[in-house]
Structure 1
Amino acid sequence: MSEANTSSEVAVKSEKMRNTILTVLSFVFIIGGGIWILSLFFDFHRYETTNNAQVESYINSITARATGHVSVINFDSHQFIHKGDTLVVLEDEEYKIKVRQAEADLAVAEGNLHSLEQSVITAISNEAASKDKLSGDMADLEKAQKDYERFRNMYADSAVTRNQYDQVVSKLQSTKAYLNAGEKELMASRSVTKQSHTNLEASNATVARKKADLENALLQLSYTYIIAQADGYVGERTISVGELINANQVIATMVLNQKLWVNANFKETQIEKIKLGQEATIVIDALDGKEFKGKVVGFSPATGAKFSMVEPDNSTGNFVKITQRIPVKIDFEASGKELAEVKPGMNVTVEINK
């Protein structure tokens, strides 16, 4: 009987102890929960927070500028490339033929130009000769006119015979005819010279155009080498050797190794308390909550919905008021080395000090 009483007392004490412990733990959990709720309240009061945010970077498309079959590929997926690296080489025999054709056309045009330059020199010389000849004919006419005046007076005084007088008259008339012909010859020479100059200008223009054609052919040939325009990491390689690619075809995308920032989508009701230059804390989910410091540098001029391809239309009458998001740009304050693990597209949580 005594043993039964003792066992009963032990059980009662054990029950009381368990209840006491549960009561203490309950109070601890309630107090801890209250403290946590209060901390959240004070944090919300001190910070504007959003987890609708991602790391952003400039992403370029590497595009072919010529059509051709792929001859050489010098990069692979996810590889780091430097500015000036040759990424792809296209078969270029067709473009080399076009360059040789353009060189031949230029040589022909330059030959025609040299020929026309000689024609201009000849035309100018002929014009000068015609002018000199005309000057001589004018001098002959002046002499013939004086002879005619003298012989006319002498014939009136019967100092010369009729035959002599007729010869002087004939000489005057022939000299006038020569002078008239010389004037027409000079006009023709001037016309030929003018036409030669016009042809020369046209030939110069042709040579300039053929030079431009050659430069364009050389430029097209250079496009058979696809060169990296900046440092960065390429994404997936989608082409293979022997494949035909067309001009303006994207052969790869590249994440530029220049700058990272965060695009944080805050509710429109939060924007009033966010200002340019405010400090921000960036927590990156993929890096086990690693924190980085940042600074607010810009606001979107419109909500994200306004930039969507299909903007919501509430004019049908089925209106539901939805809080809009406004993108806020936040720059990292860390250096490039510190951001080596950060990749564009990672989800982050942003806290901005009010």
Structure 2
Amino acid sequence: MKHVKTLVLLAAVVAIGLGLWFWWQHEKVYPSTDDAYLRANILTISPQVAGQIASVGVSENQHVSAGDVLFQIDTAELDAEFEAAQAEYELARQNAGALVSNLSAAEARLQSAQAALTEAQIAFDRTSKLRALGDISQASLDQATAARDQAQAAVEASQSAVDAARKQAGVPGDDNAAVRAALAKLTLARINLERSRVVAPVSGWIANIDLRPGALVTENAPLFSLVEDSAWWIDANFKETDLDRVRPGQPVEIAIDMYPGLSLTGKVESIGAGSGAVFSLLPAQNATGNWVKVTQRFPVRIRLDAEPGDAALQLRVGASTTVTVDTSSVDAK
């Protein structure tokens, strides 16, 4: 009887040892962790113009599609700014037109002065030849010279007037400083008017909204969040001792705590470049006499292959999950 008890005890010890060995081998090939959480892109919705909320088109946890109107800001003030900018632009174009007319007149006067200079030069040349022959007096030559010099001065004055008029008019084309400034102001007023209507940049779920008509909002102030529904992943924190076989592209089995029995699949996308302690607000300082070695955890990003087929099983950011990585591909190499 004593020998039987001894054999049974030895058999139990061997069975436990074999069980632990097989469990250790399984955990080595299929490392897992329950320190893993579901993630998605979260966009912060903020208005780009200030004003009073005229209407709100969404509510908490509502699903929206890209382009759906989230809320509308009252446009009374923005409409007035747009009309003022449009009037300023039209006035600037009118002023630019008047400057162009002045330029045309100055160019016409320049052409007339150039024609008068040509005639004065011809008269001077003819008078010079006659004076050389002694047919006319010196006074006639002096008179022709004075007329030519006056015509030359008139051309120079007209050219200066043309240059000044051309600079004011902003020639060529619409290259007028006042017109360009007014056009830029009009464009900005139009953009601000369009920004009063805030739409969803992507499809997803509204979260953390507390917005009502009549509320005053400021430019770029965060109002609520939009959880995008197109890309989901899991941030799993593995022990550093479990990462020697983990590689990007390996298949992963995923269990979500909020949906017992649901099993999803994914793939390892990347392994973090540093442990969570390194990027914490207050990193641990181990250069002390009280140092105790603690196994570090590194974040592993896992991309889901697909969402649950049942529409009622909505994925939610921050949900606890358990992931198991299949590293058997390492042995096949």
Deviation of 1:246 after TM superposition, in Å, equals: 0.6
Q: Which residue in the other structure is 1:213 paired with?
A: 185
Deviation of 1:244 after TM superposition, in Å, equals: 0.7
Deviation of 1:37 after TM superposition, in Å, equals: 5.3
**Aligned equivalent of 2:36, options 36, 46, 53:** 53
Q: Which residue in the other structure is 2:59 paired with?
A: 76
5+ residue gaps, structure 2: 328-333
Q: SS state of the match for residue 134, structure 2?
A: helix
Q: SS state of the match for residue 287, structure 1?
A: coil
CA RMSD, 1 decimal? 2.4
**Aligned equivalent of 2:242, options 267, 270, 293:** 270
Q: Is 1:326 aligned with 2:276?
A: no
Deviates more, 1:331-340 or 1:270-279: 331-340
Given the two structures, how large is their TM-score scaled by the length of structure 2?
A: 0.87
Q: Which residue in the other structure is 2:325 paired with?
A: 352
Q: Which residue in the other structure is 1:66 paired with?
A: 49
Q: SS state of the match for residue 349, structure 1?
A: strand
Kindly provide the amino acid, as one letter, of the partner of residue 43 in structure 1: H
**Aligned equivalent of 2:26, options 39, 43, 47:** 43
Q: For each residue in 1:62-83, what CA deviation from the matched residue of structure 2 results, as whole angstroms up to 9, or x when unmatched?
A: 1111111111000000000111
Q: Which residue in the other structure is 2:75 paired with?
A: 92
Q: Is 1:133 aligned with 2:105?
A: no
Of all paired residues, the percent bearing the same amino acid is 23
Change (3 A) 1:318 1:207: farther
Matched ranges for 1:1-354 at <5 A: 34=16, 40-151=23-134, 168-201=137-170, 204-335=176-307, 337=309, 340-354=313-327
5+ residue gaps, structure 1: 1-22, 153-164
Q: SS state of the match for residue 55, structure 1?
A: strand
Kindly provide the amino acid, as one letter, of the partner of residue 333 in structure 1: D
Q: For each residue in 1:186-223, what CA deviation from the matched residue of structure 2 results, as whole angstroms up to 9, or x when unmatched?
A: 00111111111111228612211211110001111112
Q: SS state of the match for residue 272, structure 1?
A: coil
Please give the alpha-carbon distance, in whole angstroms, between the structure 2 residues aligned to 1:315 and 1:190: 82
Deviates more, 1:83-92 or 1:37-46: 37-46
Please give the alpha-carbon distance, in whole angstroms, between the structure 2 residues aligned to 1:327 and 1:283: 18
Q: 2:117·2:151 contact (CA, 8 Å) conserved in 1?
A: yes
Kindly provide the amino acid, as one letter, of the partner of residue 50 in structure 1: T
Please give the alpha-carbon distance, in whole angstroms, between the structure 1 residues aligned to 2:178 and 2:308: 54
Task: Choose 1 or 2 for highest CA Rg.
Answer: 1
Q: SS state of the match for residue 172, structure 1?
A: helix
Q: 2:233·2:302 contact (CA, 8 Å) conserved in 1?
A: yes
Deviates more, 1:274-283 or 1:198-207: 198-207
Kindly provide the amino acid, as one letter, of the partner of residue 303 in structure 1: S
Q: Which residue in the other structure is 2:331 paired with?
A: none
Please give the alpha-carbon distance, in whole angstroms, between the structure 2 residues aligned to 1:78 and 1:65: 23
Please give the alpha-carbon distance, in whole angstroms, between the structure 2 residues aligned to 1:99 and 1:224: 13
Change (3 A) 1:321 1:38: closer
Please give the alpha-carbon distance, in whole angstroms, between the structure 2 residues aligned to 1:38 and 1:134: 113
Q: SS state of the match for residue 273, structure 1?
A: coil
Please give the alpha-carbon distance, in whole angstroms, between the structure 1 residues aligned to 2:177 and 2:308: 54
Kindly provide the amino acid, as one letter, of the partner of residue 293 in structure 1: T
Kindly provide the amino acid, as one letter, of the partner of residue 251 in structure 1: L
State how many pairs are aligned: 313
Deviation of 1:36 after TM superposition, in Å, equals: 6.6
